[in-house]
A and B are shown apart, each in its own frame.
Chain A
Amino acid sequence: MSSDTQDAFVAFDRVQKSYDGETLVVKDLNLRIGRGEFLTMLGPSGSGKTTCLMMLAGFETATHGEITLGGNPINNIPPHKRGIGMVFQNYALFPHMTVAENLSFPLEVRGMGKSEREGKVTRALDMVQMGDFGGRRPAQLSGGQQQRIALARALVFEPELVLMDEPLGALDKQLRETMQFEITNLAHRLGITVVYVTHDQTEALTMSDRVAVFDDGRIQQLDAPDVLYEQPQNSFVAQFIGENNTLEGTVAEITDDMCVVRLDDGELIDAVPVNVSGVGERTKVSIRPERVEMNKDRLAPDAHTLKAEVAEFIYMGDIYRTRLRVGGHDNFVVKTRNAPDQRRLKPGEQIEIGWRPQDCRALDA
């Protein structure tokens, strides 16, 4: 954890949430978010990430545990007194108000004077490059424009914490990428703390200071994007973040920093033991597709090699994606750069592949 309880801006302390009294949607959540941090909650749907966001916003109450904001418990503070900005999945721009009225709304309910409001609204609109759209209705705007307005509205009353619930989900890919960039820029420029919920891992990896991967009501891993990708702590994270090859087997031998795994077809490979504890344990060995080398010449000296049969070879522009049959799996993917020396492989061809044992992580089964 990057910060401890005292200077954490937002803290979830052993928070649990249940809707029906039978199952927990959020199980024992502990999370500290530093001031100015951009934290993303990433996970498949139903993993509890949105519930956490809603508890923080005040629309859901925690069944157990405490949430603090700036050191103060906020469990009993109604949402409108929390002073948290929020951007909703479908923007939730009020359709019966103009853009300017939408932006003015939070200022109005705070009893701000007209001229002051107008100034702030203009500035907020300019901030998102929508200065000319004050008189329009939300329905007259494109998706991307609505997105900007929603952002401006969440920021116009200068909250220190802004929550975003899949804000880019409805946009097309290109626009989404632009907006990712704009949001992170804006957040850093204004120095606000952002808690961002998404199920899109690319979005999470590119935007966040830290990412909390949710599954089954728990944070599976909370780390900076690169750590998350390079060093997944369990097979869920490994599977969920990026593309991943999994080989199943049993731990045959284990030392401090290496272990030997007997794959189901009998092959023995070396791997870094991440969360395996003893010999005989089942394990899933994870190798990133881009860390597998098909070119013998480029193999590291200590590389482990395996025989493989090409099942499919796909041209994808910047890379080639090769599907191989390895160790009883026929879905072993290798990504190679579209380099001039890369030969086009044919299905059925027998090749040899290899990887560095450090890139091979033995995770829970």
Chain B
Amino acid sequence: MSDATAGNLSQAAAESRRTDAEQTGPMLAADGRPLKQSLNRALRAQKLRALALIAPLLLFLLVTFVAPIVDMLFRSVENQIVSETLPRTVMALEDWDETDLPSEDTYAALAYDFREAAERRRHTRLGSRLNYEQTGLSSIFRRSGRGIDDVGEVYADQFIALNAAWEEPATWVALMGDPDWIAAQAEWAATEDTEAREPSFRLATGIENVLPETADAYRSFARAIQAEARNPDSPVEEEPWNTVYLALYRDLAAAPASAITGYSGPEEALLREAADAVSGFETVNLRETFAEIEEGWVEMPVWGTIETFSDPYTAGYFLASVDLRLTPQGIEPVDENQRIYLLLFQRTIVLSLSIMGLCVILGYPIAFLLSNLPMRTSNLLLILVLLPFWTSLLVRTSAWKVLLQQQGVINDVLVWMGIVSDGARLALINNQLGTVIAMTHILLPFMILPLYSVMKTIPPSYVRAAKSLGATNWTAFWRVYFPQSVPGIGAGCILVFILSIGYYITPELVGGRTGIFISNRIAFHISDSLNWGLAAALGTILLVLVLVLYWLYDRIVGIDNVKLG
């Protein structure tokens, strides 16, 4: 009646407003601007103030949450170590047809790359990385680090025998160094300032055209020894690596005579002399040289692996996360007896769902009881529920061991009561059951708390109303109370499931061999195998899995139906 009148009135008002709008276009504020614009202006300051209030948290989240996730996503595909450590080799391998061992040029590129990597102590790191893909690469790289010094020695000896000037660092600096750099270096050396670092080496202009490989190899040498953190050396004082002589030989042997005769600049005479002599030099086959250092360098799979993982980004970690692997022949499943991740993903989800279900079954009555007790009693009981939070996880887990193990309290009691025989004690721990029991205990509060806070807000009058309307206790509960507690169940389930899917300490301690989760593998790859890329890929899949399940939950139950209180 009066409602209806009010309704009519407001309808009328709305209509009159609509006609206003139709007549005058957009609503205008008193100063003639469109109303919307004025409103936005007025709200902007308010929005900025709100933003300033949450800015610290936003920043905190960005640093502690978003950044690590982005970092993880990046790591799961990042593979720059190969192309950064062996840049020339990776380039040379681009034209490789994979039918036979790579060309002599590729081996030369490998020699330059490896010499620098060994100097910078990066070769073993790359070896560890590639060993994830192929067993044995770790030691190939480690051992080659020692032998690489000698590659090219035969040329170094011949150049020096030809003219002792080739042994002098000064010769090389004059030939390769940019005059400006040489001057800057001399100035630096004169100051004797121990704090300042030597200016970074720069190549002379044009030398790259004359001696391309030598210039590249020498620059790599000069920069590498300068970069030494503790005892930096100077190209002015060091004889170049043997690989630089190798490069010099290769340049001179390959260059048309005119290129060298056309060169004018420092040490031109020395260079012409060498150019004339190289045709008579004793030569070595680089492939054989590498074979002597380490047999692996003449094995196709080794080169196949390097080539396959030469891209700066790889899907290899993700493939490994689902029991596949990237080989030179394409994507293949890993050997059956090494497949583990799909099994663990599946196990993690199944066990997490069981834990979640158990938590609902055990937690619901407790939360119901708590929410219906007087405040004082319920607070006391709530403290008991929270008690596990105040006990260290390890202590709790140890307590479970004492209780559940075969020589533990529960088994002892069962044997004493004659329920099980001494020889057939129950295996309650160090298996899946152990994981489920311990995790249910640990996560139960995360179910009880949202349930409790939702149940607390359901007024008792609803059930009373249902009963007064003729519903039995059960009907009143099931038709009226339960549907209203569903948001609490939803929140609890999401909390428990997401927490349990990422748990690893408890499964590690009580899960035995069948009760471990995918997170245990992630932890293993983080702290033990150091395969952070794989750990990141596994973590990313887990994250996506959680998001998918969350999306499914939203589709089925509706995320609005989640209430934490």
Given a CB threshold of 8 Å, the question of whether A touches B is answered with yes
| Interface membership of chain B positions 225-263, coded 1 if the CB is closer than 8 angstroms to chain A and 0 otherwise | 000000000000000000000000000000000000000
User: In the assembled complex, which residues on chain A have CB atoms less than 8 Å from the CB atom of B476?
Assistant: 80
Asked whether B470 lies within 8 Å of A90 as measured between CB atoms, the reply is: no
Q: Is B191 an interface residue (CB 8 A)?
A: no
Pairwise interchain contact A157-B469, C-beta atoms closer than 8 A: yes
Set of chain B residues within 8 Å of A298, measured between Cβ atoms: none
Which of A89, A95, A106, A129 is the one whose CB lies under 8 Å from B470?
A: A106
Contact yes or no, B468 A85, CB < 8 A? yes
The reply to whether A92 and B472 contact each other, CB–CB distance below 8 Å, is no
The reply on B65 being an interface residue by CB < 8 A is no
- Asked whether A344 is an interface residue with its Cβ less than 8 Å from the other chain, the reply is no
Residue B61 interfacial (CB < 8 Å) = no
- In chain A, positions 76-129 with a C-beta closer than 8 Å to chain B are 78-86, 88-90, 92, 94-96, 105-106, 109-110, 129
Given the known interface contacts A105-B479, A129-B1, A178-B1, the answer about A86 and B465 at a Cβ–Cβ threshold of 8 Å is yes
B459 with A105: CB separation less than 8 A? no
- The reply to whether B475 and A109 form a contact with Cβ atoms under 8 Å apart is yes
Q: Does A231 contact B (CB under 8 A)?
A: no
When the two chains form their complex, are residues B2 and A174 in contact, meaning their CB atoms are under 8 A apart? yes
**Interface residue total, chain B, C-beta cutoff 8 A:** 22
Partner among B464, B466, B473 whose Cβ is within 8 Å of the Cβ of A57: B464
The verdict on B3 contacting chain A, using a C-beta distance below 8 Å, is yes
Contact A86 to B462, CB < 8 A, known contacts A94-B480, A174-B2, A178-B1: no
Number of interface residues of A (CB under 8 A): 34
Q: Which residues of A contact B559 (CB under 8 A)?
A: none
B2 to A84, Cβ gap below 8 A? no
Contacts of A174 in B (CB 8 A): 2
| Bound: A144/B484 CA distance, A | 23
Q: Which positions 444-464 of chain B face chain A at CB distance < 8 Å?
A: 459, 461-462, 464
B480 touches A90 (CB 8 A): no
8 Å CB contact of B471 from A80, A86, A90, A145: A80
List the A side residues contacting B459 at CB < 8 Å: 90, 92
Q: Name which residue of chain B comes closest to A143, CB basis.
A: B3
| B34: interface (CB < 8 Å) | no
Asked if A89 meets B471 with Cβ closer than 8 Å, knowing A94-B480, A178-B2, the reply is no
Centre residue among B469, B470, B472, B479 by max chain A CB count within 10 A: B469
Distance of A107 from chain B, by nearest CB (Å): 9
> Provided the pairs A105-B479, A129-B1 are in contact, do residues A92 and B471 lie with their beta carbons within 8 angstroms?
no
* B-facing residues in A152-188 (Cβ within 8 Å): 153-154, 157, 163, 174-175, 178
In the complex, which residues 412-467 of chain B have their Cβ closer than 8 Å to any Cβ of chain A?
459, 461-462, 464-467
B3-17 CB contact bits vs A (8 Å, 1 = yes)?
100000000000000
Q: When the two chains form their complex, are residues A109 and B461 in contact, meaning their CB atoms are under 8 A apart? A: no
Residues of B within 8 A of A90 (CB): 459, 461
Q: Does B483 contact A (CB under 8 A)?
A: yes
> How many Å from the CB of B121 to the closest CB on chain A?
67
What 0/1 readout, one digit per residue, does chain A (50-63) give for beta carbons within 8 Å of chain B?
Answer: 00000001110000
Shortest distance in angstroms between B460's beta carbon and chain A's nearest beta carbon?
Answer: 9
* CA of A174 to CA of B6, assembled, Å: 12
A residues in contact with B471, CB < 8 Å: 80, 105-106, 109
Question: A175 CA to B470 CA in the complex, in Å?
Answer: 30
Q: Is the CB of A105 within 8 A of B468?
A: no
A6 at interface by CB-CB < 8 Å? no
Set B2, B461, B469, B472: member contacting A89, Cβ < 8 A: B461
B7 to chain A, nearest CB (A): 9
B397 to chain A, nearest CB (A): 40
User: Top 4 nearest A-B pairs by Cβ distance?
Assistant: A106-B469, A92-B465, A86-B468, A92-B461
| Chain A interfacial positions (CB closer than 8 Å to B) | 57-59, 78-86, 88-90, 92, 94-96, 105-106, 109-110, 129, 142, 144-145, 153-154, 157, 163, 174-175, 178
| A to B CB contacts below 8 Å, 7 in the list | A59-B464, A79-B467, A86-B469, A92-B462, A94-B462, A105-B471, A178-B2
